[in-house]
Amino acid sequence: MQTEQNEKFSKKPPVTPSSIGNYLLDKLHEKGVRHIFGIPGDYILKFNKLIEEHPHIEFIGTTRENTAGHMADAYARMQGLGVACITYGVGISIVNSTAQAYVESVPTIVISGAASDSEFRRSRRLHHLINTSVTGERDTTQLEIFKNITIGQTILDDPETAAEEIDRIIDLCLEMKKPVYIELPRDMIEAPIANHPAIFHNIHMGKSHLFEKEIQKILHASRQPVIWIGHEISRFHLSDSVLAFAEKFHIPIVSSLLGKTTVSEHHPLFLGVYNGELSSAHLLDYLKDTDCIFILGVILSDIETGIFTAKIDQTHQIIASKAEISIDKKSHHNYCFEEFIAGLQHIPCDAPFRNPAKFVREKVSFLPEREKKITSPRTFTCIESHLQPGNIVVTDIGDSLFGASNFVLDKNCFIACPYYASIGFSIPAAIAVQLAKPAQRVVCIVGDGAFQITCTELSTAIRYGISPILILLNNHGYGTERPILDGTYNDVGNWDYTALTKVFKGGVGYKITTEQELDEALTKAFSDPQQLYLIEVELGQTDFSIGLQRFMQLVTG
Amino acid sequence: MQTEQNEKFSKKPPVTPSSIGNYLLDKLHEKGVRHIFGIPGDYILKFNKLIEEHPHIEFIGTTRENTAGHMADAYARMQGLGVACITYGVGISIVNSTAQAYVESVPTIVISGAASDSEFRRSRRLHHLINTSVTGERDTTQLEIFKNITIGQTILDDPETAAEEIDRIIDLCLEMKKPVYIELPRDMIEAPIANHPAIFHNIHMGKSHLFEKEIQKILHASRQPVIWIGHEISRFHLSDSVLAFAEKFHIPIVSSLLGKTTVSEHHPLFLGVYNGELSSAHLLDYLKDTDCIFILGVILSDIETGIFTAKIDQTHQIIASKAEISIDKKSHHNYCFEEFIAGLQHIPCDAPFRNPAKFVREKVSFLPEREKKITSPRTFTCIESHLQPGNIVVTDIGDSLFGASNFVLDKNCFIACPYYASIGFSIPAAIAVQLAKPAQRVVCIVGDGAFQITCTELSTAIRYGISPILILLNNHGYGTERPILDGTYNDVGNWDYTALTKVFKGGVGYKITTEQELDEALTKAFSDPQQLYLIEVELGQTDFSIGLQRFMQLVTG
């Protein structure tokens, strides 16, 4: 085997020696990366130069590192892989967006510049460095920090092993759909890389078990099953498999919030987003008589389960995620998530279930009343009435998320972070998504607290000609926190938000107070895909969407 | 001893049981804290409420966590202790500003909310949490991350030990002048705290040695000594001791960049900022014949030493910092930094040195040429000509720092981060400094790249009526990086910066292109302390201060 591989390799034409930096870029390009997000700095500057010179990858300069991480995250959700590059130490605020990618299973790569070994030999007391107490040795503080929030790490300090390390770490990222960390000492960026035979990094565990018999038996015994799908199904590209299984047996599908639009929400078997008691009435109605639940790729977190009100204790319960499988509460080993999900559609079916629930939702319409003050629930109705096929909705946390959770959308047309829930995600995410999918208009819904965290990225959008529609729900503070425990600490400055289009020299701003104004502004925005729109909707401090109102009832009892 | 202490304690009047949160706040107040910076979130919300209700501490809501950390840092440099409070997980971008406080020895406290033990027992899958794989146990990921960048950590999960833990961790922070991390589960915030006898946390090592004899001998053998003081002298409140020593022996003083204004720069013994070959000519002239150097509280980093060009290898060399002492290259133990520095002034002096260098710098004047385009060097001259006694100069990294490094300023009137060098520090720092020292006008100098990172904090300034003067050097990108390796990645968006005063609804903006305009704008700004001024100075891409030009020559060879 070894001989055969070496033989194959020796037959290849001699490869022009590439640098470590270029090898890395070519590999990223091969995996679908067309844009890299970040901020330059002296330890990473040569890599920025290589990106600039690369024929197929564009560097997108952001206003800071944490937002570059959010962009890489959202880009990966659309494109399969996202990359951010930072300089050492001072770029470390990216840990927040990296932690989110880790928790929500998104394959991203953080590439950090670093000082060279020869610099460390002279003195460890270098700018941007964190642990300066041991002279002569590399500062590994950043590596240690990233070990907590990435699935794999490497320092590319050896041209002999760099190629293999790059392959290993990218394979790991794509296999596990979790972030990885690559540290690139600045003298290595242009160092010639040693050739290495292609090694396939098989990190599967042995032969996996598909549990066909067990599942078949459960299906036989069930009357009213349901499939609850989560984000891991879309991350691992398993939507078609799940759909084939559901269609074969006529089993209705619900999705988690994080897994929203894993399948098209127009599919006749799709019932809606299930998050416990927060779900729509028609969905709860069907689930009330359910006796069998497939929980596929869902993480049963507080928000995903409607603060633990989801009914997961059915007569039969199949839980399958990347990390674990349990069938009727019995955990199993020898299991491969992808193979298990792909195998479900091949289970023999004597007769499909006869009465799957059907939920046909009529097209939402919005008839504005001219002078009527706009409210949060009406804002969401108005937005949904304007949505066109293929539009991608990106929401922030809070009212933005809960208000939009019942929009009926196409496949892969919704992005949010309801598990880690880092406010401010939506603006950089919307920009990255628009970049990844230029033909699909992105609609971003964001509250004012979240907006203030990452709004400078509107500048990035305008610089690079990226034109999403941003709808800013101005409820004057951290609205979601007011019903929990209110105080002046929940206030934020009340900006003249649309004046930011003047600051950033681009985009069109509207400040909305009535239904008519919102309807008109959205009509304009949706018909003008070349411009970024910033539409501020003026709301009362406690004017919440129906979704958030119900969430608040749960949280505050 | 134990008995005596208990006896004392029993004689005290019974104390009304306080909550853990209130005990912590009272302790912070006792140590000089009057403001706490941060962003609310559900895990910390009850603590925000306690701050709101506290009679002597005000909560300053920032636009995000990393800037709250910068504010706590700058506040501590002025006030002796700074505090930021965040919610769990999503607040973690504060690691960047915490790492800076760690590296530059600033006593700050990060207080993070967290889920309660009972929540963890139900499920670890809670929003904002990072490691969700072990059910039932507390997620310690954030604690593990902070171990890399703080000197001490505690989780206040036990009312019995909370008071002692709070005392221990705050004492440690103040003793070591490094950040600490306090995690506060949300069910503990209002939990009654158990009384505890006051315990003095003596973390000194035994009896320390003062080395009087050794120093006396060295002074006797030297002809032309110099004292190089760094930031640790001001952090540990040792400026007066060093000055007394210098005055007794007539030894001239130079400071590091990070230690700038540790003593008044108007003092006749003060020669200027020493950073190797980047230093002023008169200073290099004196140092050329130096045979003895006291390096006190300086960290010999790349930037502090003028990229390792500082002449530290003198005939006699005394290096003393919090971490170590070496006398003529021999390291010693049984050493206490504070006691050593305080002891220097008591060394017997037969005859003081006779010809200490004197550098009397004339008051800088600026005569503007009406239509003449302003340049970077002239901008700094103009700013210095306007400075008034007591003004505090806060600079960002890059041209802002190097251009201002030779301003002659009063004691404790300069703040920058030339070691860790996190761009964007200056704006939140200026706001916190102005808050800590309301009677002293703060002048902030910042480049456009740095400005874009943290500019939303101008909103915080305006919300709370804080009115520094901000001078934005717009050289259209990351100017410091252009001479190293230029490319489009060094560009940033060219904003209409002064329009931010419209967005944030406050402050006065000027866009400057000529000398006359700058002079007039500064005249106006300095005479109007109630308003925030944002003065954008339009510069060419490679128009650098003299200081940065020299730095660049060193870096690029």
* Cβ–Cβ below 8 Å for A130 and B122: no
Per-residue pLDDT reduced to its tens digit, B8-37: 333 444 445 589 999 999 999 999 999 999
- B538's enclosing H/E stretch is strand B533-538
- Considering only CB atoms, which chain A residues are within 8 Å of B304? 125
3-class DSSP state for residue A447? strand
Between residues B199 and A97, the one the model is more confident about = A97
Place of tokens 């971008």: B93
Q: What percent of chain A has pLDDT over 90?
A: 80
Distance from CA of A503 to the nearest CA of B (A): 4
Q: Check whether A439 has a pLDDT greater than 90.
A: yes
Closest alpha carbon to B390 in B265, B485, B283: B265
Phi, psi values for residue A153, rounded to 5°:
-145, 150
Sheet holding B225-229, edge to edge: B270-273, B253-255, B225-229, B292-296, B316-320, B325-327, B330-332
Note the pLDDT tens digit of each residue in B529-555.
999 999 999 999 989 998 888 888 887
d(CA B541, CA A298): 51
Examine the pLDDT at A207 and tell me if it is beyond 90.
Answer: no
DSSP character for B496? -
Residue A357 has pLDDT above 90, yes or no: no
**Do B505 and A490 lie within an 8 Å CB cutoff?**
no
The C-alpha atoms of residue A431 and residue A444 are separated, in whole angstroms, by 9
- Going from N- to C-terminal start, the domains of chain A cover 17-185, 214-344, 376-555
Specify the pLDDT at position B7.
38
* Residue with the two structure tokens 């840092």: B73
Chain B: closest CA distance from residue A96 (Å): 5
Which residues fall within 8 angstroms of residue B377, CB to CB, at 6 or more apart? Answer: B403, B545, B546
Is-same-fold flag (A17-185; A376-555)? yes
Indicate yes or no: CB of A452 within 8 angstroms of CB of B453: no
CATH of region A17-185, choose from 2.115.10.20, 1.10.3720.10, 3.40.50.10540, 3.40.50.970: 3.40.50.970
Quote the minimal CA–CA distance from A16 to chain B in Å.
25
Cβ–Cβ gap B484/A125 under 8 Å: no
Residue B322 CA neighbour count, 13 Å, CB half? 22
Are the beta carbons of A49 and B485 separated by less than 8 Å? yes
Q: How far is CA B408 from CA B272, B385, B387, B411, B524, in A?
A: 8, 10, 9, 10, 22
pLDDT at B325: 94
Distance between B496 CA and the closest CA of chain A, angstroms = 4
Identity at B8, one-letter amino acid code:
K
**pLDDT-derived band of residue A350, with 50, 70 and 90 as boundaries?**
confident
Domain B214-344 fold: Rossmann fold (3.40.50)
Task: Answer for the pair A506, A443: CB distance below 8 angstroms, yes or no.
Answer: no
Cβ pair A478:B40 closer than 8 A: yes
| Per-residue pLDDT tens digits for B398-408 | 999 999 999 99
Q: What pLDDT, in 10s, does the model give residues A102-150?
A: 999 999 999 999 999 988 888 878 899 888 666 678 999 999 999 999 9
pLDDT of A140-189, one tens digit each?
999 999 999 999 999 999 999 999 999 999 999 999 999 999 999 999 99
Nearest to B502 among A148, A460, A496 (CB): A496
Minimal CA separation from B419 to chain A, in Å: 5
Residue-wise pLDDT tens digits, B203-229? 455 567 889 999 999 999 999 999 999
Q: What is the mean pLDDT of chain B?
A: 92
Which of B453, B476, B478 to mutate to probe the A interface, most A CBs <10 Å?
B453
**To probe the interface with A, which of B503, B504, B511, B534 has the most A CB atoms within 10 Å?**
B503
Yes or no: say if A327 and A215 are a contact pair by the CB < 8 Å rule. yes
How do beta strands A316-320 and A325-327 pair?
antiparallel
Choose among A40, A492, A497: nearest Cβ to B489. A40
Q: Which residue in the set B48, B302, B495 is minimally distant from A125, CB to CB?
A: B302
Sheet holding A325-327, edge to edge: A270-273, A253-255, A225-229, A292-296, A316-320, A325-327, A330-332
Chain A: closest CA distance from residue B106 (Å): 14
pLDDT higher than 80, residue A197: no
A66/B93 touch (CB, cutoff 8 Å), yes or no: yes
Which residue is closest to B140 within chain A, CA to CA?
A148
Pairing of the two strands B392-395 and B414-415: parallel
Question: Do residues A380 and A403 lie in contact, with contact meaning Cβ atoms separated by under 8 Å?
Answer: yes
Classify domain B376-556 by CATH architecture: 3-Layer(aba) Sandwich (3.40)
- Total residues belonging to chain B: 557
Q: Write the residue in B93, B302, B493 that is nearest to A462 by C-beta.
A: B493
Residue of chain A minimizing CA distance to B104: A130
User: What average pLDDT does range A33-47 have in this prediction?
Assistant: 96
Q: Do B499 and A503 touch (CB under 8 A)?
A: yes
B16-185 homologous superfamily: Thiamin diphosphate (ThDP)-binding fold, Pyr/PP domains (3.40.50.970)
- Could you tell me if residue B121 is left (phi over 0), alpha (psi between -120 and 50 degrees) or otherwise beta? alpha
* Contact criterion met (CB < 8 Å) for B40 and A481: yes
The enclosing H or E element of A317 equals strand A316-320
Alpha-carbon distance B371 to A357, whole Å? 77
**Would the CB atoms of A126 and B302 count as touching at under 8 Å?**
yes
Residue of A nearest to B131 (CA): A103
Give the pLDDT confidence score for residue A557 in this predicted structure: 67
- Predicted local confidence at residue A82, as pLDDT: 98
* Nearest CB to B90 within list A45, A418, A421: A421
DSSP B114: E
Cα distances (angstroms) measured from residue B117 to each of B22, B124, B139, B156, B194: 20, 10, 10, 11, 19
Shortest Cα–Cα distance, A258 to chain B (Å): 12
pLDDT confidence of residue A361: 77
Neighbouring residues of A233: CB distance < 8 A, sequence distance ≥ 6: A239, A242, A259, A262, A296, A297, A341
Sign of the torsion formed by the C-alpha atoms of A10, A15, A18 and A24: negative
Nearest to B503 among A123, A133, A496 (CB): A496
Question: Counting beta carbons within 10 angstroms of the beta carbon of residue A495, is it exposed (0 to 12), middle (13 to 18) or buried (19 or more)?
Answer: buried
Give the pLDDT score at A298: 95
Amino acid letter for position A465: G
- A489/B61 touch (CB, cutoff 8 Å), yes or no: yes
Structure tokens at A267: 């599919």
* Contact check, Cβ <8 Å, B148/A149: no
- What band does B3 get if pLDDT is binned at 50, 70 and 90? very low
* B323 interaction partners in chain A (CB closer than 8 Å): 133
**Which pLDDT value is given to residue A354?**
80
Q: What is the pLDDT of residue B557?
A: 67
Burial class (CB in 10 A: 0-12, 13-18, 19+), B281: exposed
A376-555: in CATH 3.40.50.970: yes
Contact B493 A502 (CB under 8 A): no
* Cα dihedral A110, A113, A114, A115 in deg (nearest 10): 170
Q: What pLDDT was estimated at residue A482?
A: 93
In DSSP notation, B134-193 reads STTS---HHHHHHHTT-SEEEE---HHHHHHHHHHHHHHHHHHTS-EEEEEETTTTTSBP
Task: Return the half-sphere exposure (C-beta side, CA atoms, 13 A cut-off) of residue B223.
Answer: 8
Q: Answer positive or negative: Cα dihedral of B321, B327, B329, B330.
A: negative
Q: What is the ipTM of this complex?
A: 0.91
Shortest alpha-carbon distance between residue A33 and chain B (Å): 18
Give the model's pLDDT for residue B208. 76
Contact B93 A90 (CB under 8 A): no
Q: What distances in angstroms separate CA B467 from CA A493, B59, B499, B531, one per listed residue? A: 16, 18, 17, 5
- What are the start-end ranges of the E strands in A361-407? 392-395
- Nearest-CA distance A48 → chain B (Å): 7
- Rounded to 10 deg, the angle between the B376-386 and B515-526 helix axes is 30
Facing A49 at nearest CB: one of B487, B495, B502: B487
Average pLDDT, chain A: 92
